[in-house]
Structure formats: C-alpha cells, structure tokens
Chains A and B, each alone.
Chain A
Amino acid sequence: AQKVTQAQTEISVVEKEDVTLDCVYETRDTTYYLFWYKQPPSGELVFLIRRNSFDEQNEISGRYSWNFQKSTSSFNFTITASQVVDSAVYFCARGGFQKLVFGTGTRLLVSP
C-alpha cells in the first residue's frame, strides 16, 4: 500500500514557539496531490492546503508554511509563533481522484 507516514504522534509546545509537523509519503504515481487538514476537538476536518506533484514551490499563508520536497517524498508543515487555537490533530494526506490516503495524524498541544 502507498502509505503516508506521520511519525510524530504528539507534539507539545508553549505558545509562540515554532513547530514543524513531518509528513512522508509513498507513491508510484507521477501525478498526485498532497494535503494538510486540521481537526479540532469538534471533529470537523478543516482543509488547509493542496499541492500537486508538479509544483515544488514552498508556500506561506500567514503563520503557516509548507515545505514540499519531492526528492525525499516529504511535505512538512510549519506553524510559526504557535497559538493555543492551533491545538488540534493535523492530518497529512495523499490524493488522486476521489481518494485520499491519510496519515495517522499528529496531535499538537499548544499551552499558554
């Protein structure tokens, strides 16, 4: 199976610290998509970003940034100056058409 691995099960930081969530994926496809979702305790999966396999440009959105490196099959997510509201489970996923393969998730706890 083509897996998505999030090796960090849980990360605890103090507010204002920077934190990076790792994601490593496997794929035999030449065209694919990578995603990050945030799941707060309420349950909703919030779409954060989509990257396609042809676009290795890093992306920044406010305090969030993403580092896509095809050579190492990694798509890491950094939160700068973390806040308590960032506490959630974050899922990395690889997608094709209509199917998402999720990683096991990383629980981020940000304390005041």
Chain B
Amino acid sequence: DTEVTQTPKHLVMGMTNKKSLKCEQHMGHRAMYWYKQKAKKPPELMFVYSYEKLSINESVPSRFSPECPNSSLLNLHLHALQPEDSALYLCASSQEGVSIYFGEGSWLTVV
C-alpha cells in the first residue's frame, strides 16, 4: 500500500467551482510534488515543494494554486478550471530528492 495518501479519489467539478485536492505523507519526506497525467500520456511535473517552500513551478496556469501547510501535507486548490484540465493528478514525495514515491492519484473531471 502506498504511503502517500490522496483525497478525494474522484472529483467532478464545474468550471465555476472551487475545489481542492489533498495529499498527505507520513514518511518524513521533505519534498512533495504535484504531477498531472492525461490519458495515455506520461505524468508531467507541475510543482515541487522542498522544506515547505515552492521550489519548482513548471509554468502552471494560475487556476492551479498549490499550498504546503506543513511538511506532511500538500494541497492543490482548483478554480475556474477548463474541461481540458480533466486528468489524473498525482501527488508524490521524496526524502533525498531522487527516489520519488507516488500516491494513488485523484481523478478529476471538469464539466
């Protein structure tokens, strides 16, 4: 079983809604990540938090807003999304920044 927990597992939201994806890890890892994966494609990096500070933002649109309240939690706030944002959103964590462990993902559908 994965030690990176993501909620919710499935989310359907309208284009005017505000929602959040949540991620938690209790492995003591100091880096946490958000990846986006479209169908039949590999995951693409969105954000990296290192020691609770945003260290990498891969030019993600501002309708996606990450937040790292503490070293164990990572949120992704969603607002005014488009249907093309529908995807699997994967959270991950790592200790030394090399071996990255993923959660089960949150399946997002924007209608």
Among listed B12-20, B59-67, B76-84, B99-107, interface-contacting one: B99-107
CB pair A43 B88 closer than 8 Å: yes
A-B pair number, CB within 8 angstroms = 56
Judge whether A65 is part of the interface by a CB distance below 8 angstroms.
no
CB pair B43 A45 closer than 8 Å: yes
A residues 7-43 with Cβ under 8 Å of B? 33, 35, 37, 42-43
With A and B bound together, what is the CA distance between A33 and B100 in angstroms?
11
CB pair A47 B45 closer than 8 Å: no
Interface size class of A (residues with CB under 8 A): 20 to 34
CB pair B43 A102 closer than 8 Å: yes
Chain A neighbourhood of B100, CB < 8 A = 47, 95, 100
CB pair B97 A97 closer than 8 Å: yes
Nearest CB in chain A to that of B50: its residue: A98
Binding site for B on A (CB under 8 A): 33, 35, 37, 42-47, 50, 91, 95-100, 102-105
